[in-house]
Amino acid sequence: MTNFSVVKGNIVNMKVDAIVNAANTSLLGGDGVDGAIHRAAGAELLSCCRRIGGCKTGDAVITPGFKLDAKYIIHTVGPVWNNGLTNEAELLRQCYIKSLDLAVEYNCKTVAFPSISTGAYRFPLAKAAEIAINTILEYLEQDTCLEEVSMVCFDFNTKAAYDKVMRALGRLEDEE
């Protein structure tokens, strides 16, 4: 059984086998969590991403973690919210699935996710939290090498939205 938890923190400091980056299609860095990961991992990450050449929305690629504690960085490209008109929910689901597929392929035991698409890409937070948690939990029903998957929320609002979904699923006591 894989443990799943929602925590508050900065994903660059996570001591896990793989952290997931909410990247953009160029893979060349950006604002938000992407910028924080590139700064912390160092310039070698940018060269490595440049060699990969890009990533489609809803897909994921893997690189070493370079200067991070994490061994790997899984870069996934979330959908930009477009009022639900361009398959955003399914693309977001695919981000979590493809990232977990790569983590399993690389034999990771511990993986940390940020809240994909809910920053600059404006995916409505409550809906994104529901998709993220349900997709991860459904994936973890399979028997894999994964031991611990965490959702790392950078701010209070994000943590509250993910906690709300966990509470609705009976996975979180009331006053935590």
Binding site for ligand ADP (CB under 6 A): 10-12, 22, 31-34, 36, 78, 114-121, 152, 154-155, 158
> What's the rounded Cα separation, in Å, for the pair 162 and 135?
13
- Shortest separation between residue 31's beta carbon and ligand ADP, angstroms: 6
* Contact present, 75 and 61 (Cβ < 8 Å): yes
Identify which of residues 149 and 152 has a Cβ nearer to ligand ADP in the complex.
152
Least Cβ distance, residue 143 to ligand ADP (angstroms): 29
Q: Is 30 within 8 Å of 45 (Cβ atoms)?
A: no
Q: Quick check: 112 and 3 in contact, CB under 8 A?
A: no
Q: Which of 17, 34, 163, 174 is catalytic?
A: 34
The backbone torsions φ and ψ at residue 156, rounded to the nearest 5 degrees and listed phi first, read -60, -45
Nearest approach in angstroms of CB 1 to ligand ADP is 26
Q: Is 34 a catalytic residue?
A: yes
- Provide the annotated active-site residues: 34
